[in-house]
Structure 1
Amino acid sequence: MLGYSDSNKDGGFLASNWELSKAQKRLTRTGQKNKIKISFFHGRGGSVSRGGAPTGRAIAAQPAQTVGGVMRVTEQGEVVSSKFANRGTGLYQLEILAASVLAHSVKSADEAELKDIPEFEEALEALTGMSQASYASLMNEPGFIDYFNQASPVEELALLKIGSRPPRRFGASSIADLRAIPWVFAWSQNRHLLTGWYGIGSALNSFVTVRGDHGVDLLKQMFERSRFFRLIVDEVDKTLYQADMEIGRLYAGLVSEPDTGERIHRKIASEYELTRRMIGEITGRVDLSTRFPTFKRHFDRIRPQMDDIHRLQVKLLHEVRTQDTAAPSPKRAINALLLSINCISAGLGWTG
């Protein structure tokens, strides 16, 4: 079982994917050595930070010889209805899945883009360590827990009653106690979306600072020749396009300590701008998502409505949280808040 969700929450997007990739390689080699057939169960959620990259590309980027004709995946929550709501789309999705598994099983051993290149692996190890350190720095920032609880609707998500599990484990007092699904869900509602990019900009910038022009050339080579690294860069690119730091600032205003809200939002926004710049340097494109015109066109069309709903949601969160606890619960504000959560998740195409 490959767990994308909790590994992402613990170490960030790049560290999660790289460590899972290495684990598959090691387990496959161990199985081959002992003549044991190893098959992997990919616990994929809807968002990219929970393994939800496009099916065909995600399978094509798996390490060579780790599929071997057998692959089990989960499709969770809203992804089930979007992919399998009717016979036509369901058949199409199964065809993509089957074709991708067969193609990887037959071709992966000889594909240049899946070869283990020592220089690339060394670079990924360095990038992973630096991105994880940057991610941990944010998690350990004083007041971060309060920021997360107050600058997102994480507590209010439980009112939706759309899942069997609470947002946090019994007796939770830290990030480690939070469940992975509401962790991703909450960061998407306030348009930070940091579970899909945070730490990568600092890692790339540090790598280039240390290695200079050779480092830039190496990253560009990895983008061109490594299917795994290209998938990471592409999904970060698209996630950054959906994130919005100005909308995020509105949610930061909900934090009871204004200085804390401003300080942490400034740290996140600074990393966002750095990541944007570094991704552009690797891809050679100044503007985000120009390489994904269909995706960009769709999100551009709904962005104005999304922004309006976010502004409304911030007002509703303030109203619900400041209501008189002794008075009967005003259902109008709560129902409107829950509807706004549904609208935003529908616009993004996933919950968590």
Structure 2
Amino acid sequence: MTVRRQLLNFSSRSVDVRLGSNILDELPRMFRTTVGLPKRAALVGASSLDEGLETTVTHALVDVGFRVSRVTLPDDTKLCTMDTVSWLLGELGHCGVTHDDLVVCIGDAEACSVVSVTAKLWCGGISCALVPTTFDAMVTAATAICPLSVGDAVDMVSIIPEPSLVVCELDLVTEAPAEARQPGLVHLMGSIMADSRRAWERLGELVPRLARGQSFAYVDALSTAQLGRRSVLTSANPSARNALQYGLTTAHALRACLGDDIPWHVLLAEGMRFEARLAVDVTKFNVDDVFEQDDRFDDLGIDELPFSLDPERFIEALKETNARRANRLLFALPKVPGIIRLTSVPDDVLLRHATAYVGSRAELAAEEQD
């Protein structure tokens, strides 16, 4: 497959995103343009990193002229913390990395997030190349990080990352089990909902091929998602720049109520389902688009979550978790695909939809028990 190049232009910088299947042979050419004169590169990844992938990336760096220092991320601690960033900054110092050098990360969304923050802090910002190994990281790494925790403040630290290069080897995705692709597919849905009506309709055509793991479909969908996410971040409208929060407010509340055992992407999909229904009342979002979103989640194997929860407790959690991040309870609600804005929801509307939502999930839970 030919390497597809997606150049995401921001006001004073750009991110070079390369997508395709079997594209790692092109790594030397990609790395050559990341710095002016190749000298040092810190290669960061987990100890469990695939040996073949690590060797391929290392050889590509050496071929260009980098002297590579391997930095192994800790396995026994929560990765997305400022403590990890502080430790990694120390490791860059031990490796002698300067402002003119390169840091490379091979790993999942959490690893890419920690390295992106570290690269932005070291020497005022150094060149950073990411080789994401999971589909959720491929969707998000160029434009967002997993929030970091500091002390007792969980998931409260976030920045816009500034990688120079993001290399998405789709074979890592299409050859993985279908369940491993689901976190990225949820982020993909939200990203394309924020892009445009045309992109949303095009996604409907791609869903059957995405479900079958076809590489070309993943390249097309990922390209569209990258452009949509860039458009959100560069929007002149401050409210529009929050479009990628679609589903997040509800997902945080569900985590507070249901605990950490449920995968985050399942909670995020539930958040998008609930907030789409709120939008029907509040922003006049077309109910047909709500059902289309439901159908696409179903077709991709992302099922509704059964649980039992009191509506008042759910609303309380919405307000409490939101209060940690904002002074007003606002939801990022779609008006049409391509237009998502922060919107307040009247209390009576919120109660009515919360009651209906948790009631439907209680019915699912009862059916499972039977």
TM-score (norm 1): 0.28
- Higher normalized contact order (CA 8 Å, seq sep 6+, divided by chain length): 1
Normalized per residue, the structure richer in strand is 2
